[in-house]
Amino acid sequence: MTEAAASQLALRTQLFRFVLTGGLSAIVDYGLLVALMALGLDYIPAKVLSFIAGTTTAYLINRRWTFVSDGSRRKFAAVMGLYAVTFVVQVGIFAVLYPWLVSVGLDTPMLPAGLVAAMHWAQFLGFVVAQGTATAVNFIVQRTVIFKP
């Protein structure tokens, strides 16, 4: 599909693809966050590394499938600039929420003992709020500015 054809994709189609891609990218991001923290990495460096992995996954899939773009240098630079802003927003929200959620007693395991016992409510809730905010900003800017029809 050409870029002209992509501009014909309905908002609903793009939003569906973006959310699906975001779900996969969130699994990469959150899975790595939990694993790195379980290995003893502090929450901010763990979130930085998981963010990079998740957003790289999102960019590669969204560029080709959601927005059907040629991946020009200009668009790549624009997306990287957006991701830099999103990085500050997402990691900033997580860095503020996570310690607060721990302080109010939500650093309890989400599931019984086992491989995923390292998953805690504070991680999960902080991640969901930060990821949700970043996802909304990313879709709006990518659809209306970077990959606009």
The answer to whether residue 77 sits within a structural domain is yes
| The predicted structure's pLDDT at residue 39 | 92
Domain count, the chain: 1
Profile the chain (149 residues) by mean pLDDT over runs of 10 residues: 56 89 92 91 92 90 84 84 91 93 82 62 90 89 82
To the question of pTM greater than 0.75 for the whole model, the response is: no
| The predicted structure's pLDDT at residue 85 | 93
The answer to whether residue 3 sits within a structural domain is no
The answer to whether residue 111 sits within a structural domain is yes
120 strand-pairing partners? 109
Domain encompassing residue 124: 9-146
The answer to whether residue 4 sits within a structural domain is no
